[in-house]
Amino acid sequence: MKAKKVGHEAHMQKADNLGILDGVNRPLKVVFLGAGSGFFKGLFTDVINIPGADKGEMALVDIDEERLSLAKKLGDKIVKLSGKKGWKITAVTDRRKVLEGADYIINCIEVSGTACVRFDNDIPREYGVDQCIGDTIGAGGLFKALRTVPVFLEVLKDVEKMCPDAWVLNYTNPMSIMCLAAARAGKAKVVGLCHSVQGTSHVLAKYAGIPYREMNWRCGGINHLAWFTELSHNGKDLYPILKKKIEKDPKLLAEDPVRFDVMKYFDYFVTESSGHFSEYLPYYRKRQELIDKHCGPRYLGQSSFYADEWPGWRKACDANRKKFISGELEIEIARTWEYASFIIEAMETHSPMTIYGSVPNTGLITNLPQDGVVEVACLVDKRGVTPTFFGRLPPQCAALCDANMRMFDLAADACLQRSKDLAAKALMLDPLTAAVCSLSEIKEMTERLFKAEKAFLPGYK
């Protein structure tokens, strides 16, 4: 097996001599839901970069007409720069106009935009729940799910009706709850995609001071909480080396304080950044002195980081698009290491590739809930996405995943049933919230969040 080079040296593995075709040999139809997303430019460019994918239709969908127009203009310019004149770019606000005949759907929708970020952050903070990102777990993640999942399920109903053979490549958070609800609600072919596995594998090689291609590793768990249970170089375990390094080098420890601290006590390194990871645990954010000790600026755990910065990031994204379109900024059209385009390439060319995806746990990780969603290595080829067996996680790692999955379980059902009661119970199981609040406080917090975000939560009883 050899690693495929994708601009950065990605970890994705591509097999040789397995009936591989020269390239994509038919027009593709790819529907991009949420074209206003910050993911758009990279993912769109990736698809255009697929070898042999010289013609087809990229249908852009967004309910925001202004941002949709910017995406269309940027897409047209990327296609022109690529020299692939066979691509047709369409832009609509109604997905039903373009789903018919779609081969792949890239989902990057965001329900409510920035309207709820302060509610998601500030109301829990009044109860002592301090969040850094707050979009996949905790109160912020729960209410993002309550807003987003019902819309996603309507999308999937349309997919089942209009393009039942299409694969839905989901990038929208909260990943685990989104994919779990989708699996319980219907039969659409959905895989959840993130970049934390490939990103962290490169970070670990840097920390260990070895060439990336020479590092061997194995990873499994849940999205943002997957564990590198094997990490070696030339047959030598890298974990003792990493533990010695952080003991001797405070600067290295400060680069990833929470992940290194968990590695110290739980023996293994996890996939999500220290700041976001700290929200999945009951240990680091329940008192200010712990936040001060273990967390740092920005993605290292800054309080309210996402809520404070996201509105500005969104404006900057739109401003940069205008600059790309006008020529003020140069457009980089190299392929990124995001999975979507490589999944399409592998399926279209029968060029098997291993990626990491969030999928139903059908016996894949044996000591995690079998009705949940896990993140494991998946083989992609013309048959689709086939998850691979992982086995048992180390028990201490499984316990942390399990605690989050119990929250996801009730959260997904709360979305499916439009139930305020199940939503409150889900938050009662959230590790950080439970470490800070009483049950009555969590119930009150939930009710306040429902009241504040009522306009974006229709039908909840």
Catalytic residues: 195
The Cα 207–Cα 224 span in angstroms is 19
Listed in sequence order, the DSSP H helices in 279-394 are 288-294, 305-326, 340-349
**Dihedral sign of CA atoms 77, 78, 82, 85 in order:** negative
Query: Strand, helix or coil at 451?
Result: helix
Say which residues have a Cβ less than 8 Å from residue 149's Cβ, sequence separation at least 6.
177, 178, 181, 412, 415, 416
190's tokens: 């959905």
Q: Are strands 167-170 and 104-107 parallel, antiparallel or unpaired?
A: parallel
Q: Is 304 left (phi over 0), alpha (psi -120 to 50) or beta?
A: left
Cis upstream peptide for 27 (omega within 30°): no
CA distance 49 to 63: 27
User: 17-52 b/e with 16+ CB inside 10 Å = b?
Assistant: eeeeeeebeeebbbbbbbbbbbbbbbbbbbbbbbee
Nearest Cα residue to 320 out of 12, 40, 33:
40
Integer Cα distance of 212 and 336 in angstroms: 17
φ/ψ (deg, to 5) at 294: -105, -20
DSSP state of 370: T
Q: 239: buried, middle or exposed (CB in 10 Å: 19+, 13-18, 0-12)?
A: middle
